[in-house]
A = this chain, B = another copy of it.
Amino acid sequence: MNAPAHPDHLLPQLNLRDVPPELITALKARFAERCSTALVVCEQHGRDESSFAAPPPSAVVFAESTADVAEAVKLAAQYQVPVIPFGVGTSLEGHLLAVQGGISIDVSRMNRVLSVNAEDLTVTVQAGVTRKQLNEEVKSTGLFFPIDPGADATLGGMSATRASGTNAVRYGTMRENVLALEVVTASGEVIRTGTRAKKSSAGYDLTRLMVGSEGTLGVITEVTVKLYPLPEAISAAICSFPSIEAAVRTTIQIIQLGVPIARVELIDSNTVRMVNAYAKLGLREEPMLLMEFHGSPSSVKEQAETVQEIAADLGGNAFEWASTPEERTRLWTARHNAYFAAIQSKPGCRAISTDTCVPISRLADCLLDSVSEADASGIPYFLVGHVGDGNFHFGYLIDPDKPEERATAEALNHTLVARALSLEGTCTGEHGVGLHKMDFLVTEAGTGAVDMMRTIKRALDPLNIMNPGKIFTL
């Protein structure tokens, strides 16, 4: 295996179950060459963008339809073998790791846009459609799908982790944008969780129970999401600040004034430095806000004027504006390259990513002390943030072969999460719990709430075969 080594204490969920050869035989009989047990295929499906490693799944089924998924799940249920849904593998929290063994169900071939309802601003897609593909396919309608977690993730995966990203400050997260799902349950039954109506009070909100359930309650096979009219005008801007604090205080004022900003991203000076080295951008190596405004021309102008005034008052300078798509792309290069630039800055490293999110009024309190601690630790890091939502990510760059670096990074994260929780925030704004935040979840939600989650899990998946060992252990 190429995946990095890891200290065992990070994977208490490791509890391999037997995958009987009869199941593999049955899967091969049903799926032929679409069921692979090749080590390279299994290994590729047994890791994600997290820094964890576990033995790979025993087989990968490449599903091409909901019926395929249902049959694979039924066979797995028959042998009580875990099932791990796989989209394109961009999870950051170990969601895809076969910590209890089992089979991976790859839905990436389920990549058809099933119906665009431009008049209703909705679209229904198979779970393997990625967000960039979706936007390409609906472009001619004048509509777009705003949720942008950075990676070109699948809509199924984004639903499963309740993803969000840069545009969430204006358009919300997957929680607000998924209207309905088709789900294969733990018994292999196919259900639909909603309609295309914009709102409904028809029974329990199974859609939102599934959104964020990380594959532990079922396999998402279809997703109906909202679309939005492409804004009449879009304007982007970058602005440098003398300190992170000034950038953060600018953000807080923007949000508190109710400016309907579409994106407001923080990039710290470390990260600007890495991005300059990686992409020769020649940006001022100071903390920076990247912003985007959507609306009518007059509304965009109003928003931009308000923001420029706030920023200038707090020492913001070197405002640079862009309104054509090409210019905007250039400004956003720094943000889009941050992760890869950081990884390249320390060859062989892995990033341990944090994901706290706090009420906007607490953002400075949460962020500034954590920056001091990270600086003092000696661990290199990058810092980016969807600060308009109070959400930010440190990426601590560790050598996976040096347990002491991992320990330092985990200790920094621990302190950060404790601080965020004390400020009425959450341990994960958008990445999910996965393998990494189970203890934090208990601290955040309380044992009573986590026990309620467990009770739901046990009731809906009595054999504990749906992505077991994630979110909580049973």
A residues sitting closer than 8 Å to B (CB atoms) are 117, 119-122, 161-164, 168, 172-173, 175-176, 185, 189-206, 208-209, 211-213, 217, 228-229, 252, 256-258, 296, 298-299, 302, 355, 357-362, 389-391, 421, 424-433, 437, 440-441, 444-446, 448-450, 452-453, 455-456, 458-460, 471-472
Closest 7 CB pairs of A and B: A459-B459, A119-B361, A208-B208, A200-B426, A120-B359, A229-B258, A191-B448
Q: Are B389 and A201 in contact (CB under 8 A)?
A: no
Of all chain B residues, the one with the shortest Cβ separation from A458 is B459
Please indicate which of the listed interface residues A196, A257, A361 has the most CB atoms of chain B within 10 Å of its own CB: A196
> Given the complex, which residues of B lie within 8 Å of A193, measured CB to CB?
445, 449
Q: Are A453 and B208 in contact (CB under 8 A)?
A: no
Oligomer copy total: 2
CA distance A431 to B199 in the complex (A): 11
CA distance A360 to B196 in the complex (A): 10
> Given the complex, which residues of B lie within 8 Å of A460, measured CB to CB?
452, 455-456
Q: Are B185 and A452 in contact (CB under 8 A)?
A: yes
Which listed residue (B217, B257, B299, B452) contacts A191, Cβ 8 A?
B452
Query: A229 to nearest B CB, angstroms?
Result: 4
> Given the complex, which residues of B lie within 8 Å of A175, measured CB to CB?
199, 205, 208
CA distance A456 to B452 in the complex (A): 10
Query: A176 to nearest B CB, angstroms?
Result: 6
CA distance A193 to B453 in the complex (A): 10
Instruction: List 22 contacting pairs A-B, 8 Å CB cutoff, sorted by A.
Output: A119-B359, A120-B361, A161-B201, A162-B200, A172-B176, A176-B176, A192-B449, A194-B426, A196-B424, A196-B425, A197-B358, A197-B424, A197-B429, A198-B391, A201-B426, A201-B429, A202-B426, A202-B433, A203-B433, A206-B452, A296-B302, A455-B460
> Given the complex, which residues of B lie within 8 Å of A428, measured CB to CB?
200-202
Please indicate which of the listed interface residues A204, A213, A425 has the most CB atoms of chain B within 10 Å of its own CB: A204
CA distance A440 to B208 in the complex (A): 21
